[in-house]
């Protein structure tokens, strides 16, 4: 159990994507720390579904949630007070579901507003400047994919949106011959 320090969470499956989450926060597993071997992937999703829906319904309090199916565990990203976040989800968390609580800087609603603003900016500067813009809840950031490193563009967006952004340089898909 980690408290009040940097957290590194590696998730092998995040509802269709693979990611490594690195952030500063408080990670406090609830319930039994041993893996829940009796739970299969489908039942973990079924157990977590009410909590996932509750997190989605409260975008000001939460930064998102995701499943780590390989460990039968739900990761809940919250902003503000952990006790408040736990209180909002308690009725949606069955006791057999392992939950990790991670304090994050940005709520889902903040990330969605930043995403919308970057897309608006993208439309202003032209489609060639940016490959894609997406919210990545496990990293608690909006990911901006660029075709090449553009320091001026990165500085402009960083000035507007600060730590809510992360940049990746990815060559755009090339058309097949």
Does 36 lie in the same domain as 74? Answer: yes
Does 98 lie in the same domain as 17? Answer: yes
Does 151 lie in the same domain as 119? Answer: yes
Non-local CB neighbours of 173 within 8 Å, separated by 6+ positions? none
Count: domains in the chain: 2
Non-local CB neighbours of 8 within 8 Å, separated by 6+ positions? 20, 21, 22
Reading the block at residue 142, the tokens are 């909006």
The 10s digit of each residue's pLDDT in 6-46 is: 332 222 223 332 232 323 233 333 444 344 444 555 688 89
Q: Is residue 85 classed exposed, middle or buried when 0-12, 13-18 and 19+ CB atoms within 10 A define those classes? A: buried
Measured CA to CA, the distance from residue 9 to residue 102 in angstroms comes to 10
Measured CA to CA, the distance from residue 143 to residue 105 in angstroms comes to 15
pTM over 0.75: no
Does 139 lie in the same domain as 97? Answer: no
- Domain carrying residue 159: 108-169
Whether 28 is in a domain gets the answer yes
Does 132 lie in the same domain as 68? Answer: no
Does 121 lie in the same domain as 84? Answer: no
Q: What is the pLDDT of residue 171?
A: 78
The 10s digit of each residue's pLDDT in 47-95 is: 999 999 999 999 999 999 999 878 889 999 999 999 999 999 999 999 9
Does 113 lie in the same domain as 71? Answer: no
Does 68 lie in the same domain as 38? Answer: yes
Q: What is the pLDDT of residue 77?
A: 98
Find the CATH number of the domain harbouring 119.
Answer: 3.30.300
Does 30 lie in the same domain as 74? Answer: yes
Across 10-19, 115-124, 156-165, least confident range:
10-19
Would you say residue 125 has pLDDT above 60?
yes
Does 120 lie in the same domain as 53? Answer: no
Q: Which residue has the higher pLDDT, 113 or 8?
A: 113
CB atoms within 10 A of CB 42: 9
| Closest CA relative to residue 165, chosen from 122, 114, 105, 108 | 114
């Amino acid at each position: 159990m980690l408290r009040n320090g940097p957290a590194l969470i590696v998730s092998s499956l995040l509802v269709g994507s693979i990611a490594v989450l690195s952030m500063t926060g408080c990670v406090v597993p609830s319930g039994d720390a041993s893996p829940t071997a009796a739970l299969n992937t489908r039942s973990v999703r079924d157990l977590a579904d009410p909590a996932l829906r509750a997190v989605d319904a409260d975008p000001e309090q939460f930064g998102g949630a995701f499943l780590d199916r390989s460990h039968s565990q739900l990761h809940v990203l919250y902003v503000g007070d952990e006790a408040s976040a736990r209180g909002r989800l308690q009725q949606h968390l069955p006791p057999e579901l392992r939950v990790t609580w991670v304090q994050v800087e940005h709520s889902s609603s903040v990330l969605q507003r930043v995403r919308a603003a970057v897309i608006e900016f993208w439309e202003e500067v032209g489609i060639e400047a940016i490959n894609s813009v997406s919210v990545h809840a496990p990293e608690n950031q909006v990911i901006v994919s660029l075709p090449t490193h553009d320091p001026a563009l990165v500085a402009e967006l960083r000035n507007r949106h600060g730590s809510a952004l992360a940049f990746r340089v990815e060559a755009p898909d090339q058309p097949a011959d």
